[in-house]
Structure 1
Amino acid sequence: MEHRTIGELMTRKVVSVRLDTPFKEIVRTLADHAVSAVPVLDSLGRPAGIVSEADLLRKAADRTDLSGRTPLPDLEAWERARAEGRTAGELMSAPAVCAHPEWTVVEAARLMEVQQVKRLPVVDEADALLGIVSRGDLLRVFLRKDDAIREEIAREVIGRTARLGAAGVTAEVVRGQVALHGTVTDPLLVPVLVRMCASVDGVVSVSEDVRVTAGLTTPA
C-alpha cells in the first residue's frame, strides 16, 4: 500500500518559541503568522511543549470581571499556576506529544485522538524538531482523486488477491466511497478485501456486493 507518511504531510517551516519567550511575544508570534499554537523548544531545539491560544486565554479568563456579568472560572491549582505564567515554559502544555516522519496518517490520528491534541510536533531520532502536523494536514489524504484510489485498489488489493480467488472483483470509487462488485471463490476473501480497501489512503467508506461462487475443480 502507498500510505502517505507524516514526513510528506507535515509543515516543515515551523514557527516556534523558546522556553523563556515572554507572554506578549508569544501573542505577537501567533498573530503575525496566523497560527493558533506553536511548539516551545528547549536549548537543544527539542519540543518541550506546546503553547496555544487556549493556554494564553486562560490568563484573561482568570482575571476579575469588573462588570460582574460572568463568574470567575473554577480553575484547578495547576491551571491557576499556568494562568499566572509569564513565559512560554510556564504557560505551555507539557510534555510535547510528538510524531515521527515515517508514521502513517492512521498512527498520527490515533495518537491525536488518545491524547486529545490538535497537532503534533514531528521529531527525528534525537528528538530535534523537523516539522509539525495538524488535523488539517491529516485530512489532506481525503483530497486524493478517485482515479488514483481506484488504480491502487486494482493493483494492490484485487491484484494481490487475484490468485486467491478475487480475480472477478471490480471496484468503483465515487468521492472516496468504494463499492466492490463481482465474485470470489472463497467467502473468507470478502472481509479481507473490505479491510484492505478501507486501509487505502483517501478511502471514506467501503461497501460490497460480492457473490461467492464455487471454485473450479480438476477432473480426476
Structure 2
Amino acid sequence: MEHRTIGELMTRKVVSVQLDTPFKDIAQILADNAVSAVPVLDSLGRPAGVVSEADLLRKAADRSDLSGRTPLPHLEAWEQARAEGRSAGELMSAPAVCAHPEWTVVEAARLMEIQQVKRLPVVDETDMLLGIVSRSDLLRVFLRKDEAIREEISKEVIGRTARLGASGVTADVVQGQVALHGLVADPLLIPVLTRMCASVDGVVSVSEDLKPAVAGGSAG
C-alpha cells in the first residue's frame, strides 16, 4: 500500500518572516495572507521557529484591563518574555517542529499530536524550507472516493493476503467506513485484515463480519 506523502499534501508557496521582522509587520502579513501562523527563517533560510496569532495575542492579554472585568492572566517567565517581544525571533515558538516530504500522514499527524502543534514546516535533508503542512492538509486524505478505497483494499489488502486464506473476503465502503464480509481460512487472519484496512488512506473505521471457513470446505 502506498500512502500519500507530506510532499504531496503540503503547501509549497509558503509565507514566511525573518527573525528580525517587527511585531506589526507580522500581524500585517498574517492578515494579508489569511493565515494564522508563519515559519520564522534564519539567515540561511532554515526554519528557526513558528510565530502565530496566539503568540501575538499574548502581548494583548498581558496588558492591564482598565475595565476590571477580566483578571490579568498568570504567565510563566518564558511566556512573559515572549509577551514582551518585539520581533519574530522574540515572539516565536522555538525550535521549529518540522516534517520531511517523504513522511506519511500518520507520521506527521502523530508528531502534531505529540508536540501539540497545528502545522509543520517541511524541510529537506539540509533543513531548508520546502513547504508547510497543516491539520487541514492532512485531513484531505479523507476526501478519497469510496470506490478508490475499496479498490485499494481489494487489491492491496485482500489480494496480498489471498494465499493466506483471505480470498473469500469482500469489502464494502460507505463514507470511508469499511465493512468486511466473508470467510477466512484461519481466524488469526481476521485482526490482520482489520489492521491492514485501517491503515489505508481515507479509511474512517473498519468493521468485520468474517467467519472461519468450515473445515474441509472452501474459503472462496
SS in 2 for 1:201: coil
Deviations 1:71-128 (A, max 9, x none): 1111111101000000000000000000000000000000000000000000000000
What is the CA deviation profile of residues 162-208 of structure 1, one whole-angstrom value per residue up to 9, with x for unaligned ones?
Answer: 11100000000000000000001111110000000000000000000
Alpha-carbon distance in structure 2 between the residues aligned to 1:216 and 1:26: 72
CA deviation digits over 1:125-181, x for unaligned, max 9? 000000000000000000000000000000000000011100000000000000000
SS at match of 2:7: helix
Matched, 1:127 2:127: yes
What is the aligned residue count?
A: 217
TM-score (norm 1): 0.97
What is aligned with 2:176? 176
Gaps of 5+ in 2: none
CA positional deviation for 1:216: 4.4
Distance 1:15 1:215 in 2: 63
Structure 1 position 70, deviation (Å): 1.2
Question: What are the ranges of 5 or more consecutive residues in structure 1 without an aligned counterpart?
Answer: none
- What SS does the corresponding residue of 1:160 show, helix, strand or coil? coil
Q: CA RMSD in A?
A: 0.9
User: What is the CA deviation profile of residues 48-77 of structure 1, one whole-angstrom value per residue up to 9, with x for unaligned ones?
Assistant: 000000000000011111111111111111
Q: Which residue of 1 aligns with 2:33?
A: 33
Equivalent-residue separation in structure 2 for 1:74 and 1:27 (angstroms): 24
Look up the equivalent residue of 2:37 and give its one-letter code. Answer: A
Offset of residue 214 of structure 1: 3.8
User: Secondary structure, in 3 states, of the residue corresponding to 1:38?
Assistant: strand
Q: Identify the residue that residue 66 of structure 2 maps to in structure 1.
A: 66
| Secondary structure of 1:207's aligned partner | strand
TM-score (structure 2 length as normaliser): 0.97
Task: Return structure 1 stretches of 4+ with deviation > 6 angstroms.
Answer: none
Q: Partners in 2 of 1:70 and 1:205 — Cα distance?
A: 44
What is the identity percentage for the equivalent residue pairs of Structure 1 and Structure 2?
85
Give secondary structure in 2 for the equivalent of 1:136: helix
Aligned partner of 1:153 in structure 2 is 153
Task: Show the counterpart of 1:187.
Answer: 187
Which amino acid in the other structure matches residue 108 of structure 2? A
What amino acid sits opposite 2:70 in the alignment? T
Secondary structure in 1 matching 2:159: helix
Name the counterpart of 2:142: 142
1:212 — aligned with what?
212
Q: 1:3, 1:80 → 2: CA distance?
A: 42
